[in-house]
Amino acid sequence: IDGSTKLGFTEDVLKRYEAYGWHTLEVADGDNDLAGLTRAIAEAKAEKTRPSIIKVTTTIGYGAAKAGTAGVHGAPLGAESLAAVKQLFGFNPENKFVVAEDVYKYYGERAALGAQKEREWNELVSRYAQKYPELHADLQRRLKGELPAGWEQALPRYSPSDKALATRKLSEAALSALAAQIPEIIGGSADLTGSNLTRWKDAVDFQPEPTGLGTYAGRYLRFGVREHGMAAICNGMAAYGAVVPFASTFLNFISYAAGASRLSALSKLRVIYIMTHDSIGLGEDGPTHQPIETMAMLRATPNYLNFRPADGNEVSAAYISALQHTDRPSVLSLTRQNLPQLEGSSVEKALKGGYELQTHGSGSKPDLLIAATGSETSIAADTAKLLADKHGLTVKVVSMPCLELFNAQPDEYRHSVLTPGVPSISVEALSTFGWQKYVHCPIGIDTFGASGPYKELYEQYGLTPEKISQKALKVIEYYKDVPVPMLSLQF
């Protein structure tokens, strides 16, 4: 729109693609050389071993008075200029909204040819069904977007006696189980496989066989450091259908993919984003890697499901929900640090997006409610226990792994979980933006992070049971003399 493409592209684009190993073609006069364009397309179709790119040099608004300028991009041509264009291409400038009979005839012939091709395809599929009934049934299932029967049963479930693990490690176990049950799962990482833990044990890379790195039957993709390209590729696969794509990197780096990942939501595509290293808990990599505002951005994006699971049951629930929602993308935000398997968690509860996890103390009504997500949920539970043991308070702990799912629950359920009339705080090692909708006093991080051992960082940012309890006591004290406001739960 600024003007000539030379303003922004000074390199030889075809040489760049030639260096990539592409098959390159050029049509120098795209305004007039239709025969050359036809030949180039035929040559590209004949190339079977490489992708093809055709460089076509054209003039924007060719034939118009403002040809070659941005003036024809977003403004009407005007009657005089439009008439000149029509004359150039052999049309009667006086006619408007007219389609010639030979055009109707041509399109009719193409429609008939397409119908014949469709009949031939259906006959081929019918013969395939007779010869390979099981493969045909699986193909039809995939094309319909259905998942294999009983796939959910493959996902692990956990009890508090199970080992503490990072949720990225729990995700690895879940993804490995699902990959064995759902053959259409395909995806990979943006050069962080060893950190994201997204490659199951018997996975085969999707690579040309001559490289010795994999085969085209492989289901694991090495995207390289190309977050935007990774998300765009997954969008394409999801739009095509018959596969369930996933993409993975650090949570903070989904910002590099935002243009394409936003289109996942806009286009209603089931793309699963497996994002690890989801907070200051990643430690020494520091503020360039530590997400602060990232989750707030994702939660503000329509049609996303954003999960921040607190333990293994919530990780399994996140995968179930992500796979069941065929018309929206999901982000699974996962920890680097180990987390305990929580008392009171379950897959079924987590599928509601938010639920009562624990209550500490003996009162008939809570003195305080603590809502938390991910790695801060166990910290919230420890805070509740401290307040009950040292101060005799009754504290309800709510786990909220997915706000979008919680928002979709009936009013009665949401009110029962968040307990109107009770002072409430939230704890999340991310921006507090948006939490005012759910609690009276959000506790989080509204500055950039820092580099250091993660336990020291949690201490520095006040995200320990001792420091959270101090703030909690102030909230409780404040609302002794002030009516507890009713939060807007009519989402």
Within 10 angstroms of residue 235's Cβ, the number of other Cβ atoms is: 21
**Which positions are annotated as active-site residues?**
227
- Residue 224's SS3 state is coil
- Residue 307's SS3 state is strand
Residue 184: which of 153, 227, 146 has the closest Cα? 146
Chain-centroid distance of CA 67 in Å reads 41
Strand partners, 276: 250
Any residues with CB less than 8 A from the CB of 440 and at least 6 apart, and which? 423, 424, 425, 475, 479, 484, 485, 487
Residue 257: which of 230, 276, 236, 279 has the closest Cα? 230
Distance (Å, whole) CA 457 – CA 452: 6
Residue 415, judged by CB atoms within 10 A of its CB (0-12, 13-18, 19+), counts as middle
Distance (Å, whole) CA 266 – CA 262: 6
Distance (Å, whole) CA 21 – CA 40: 18
Distance (Å, whole) CA 74 – CA 390: 68
Task: Give the single-character DSSP code of 267.
Answer: T
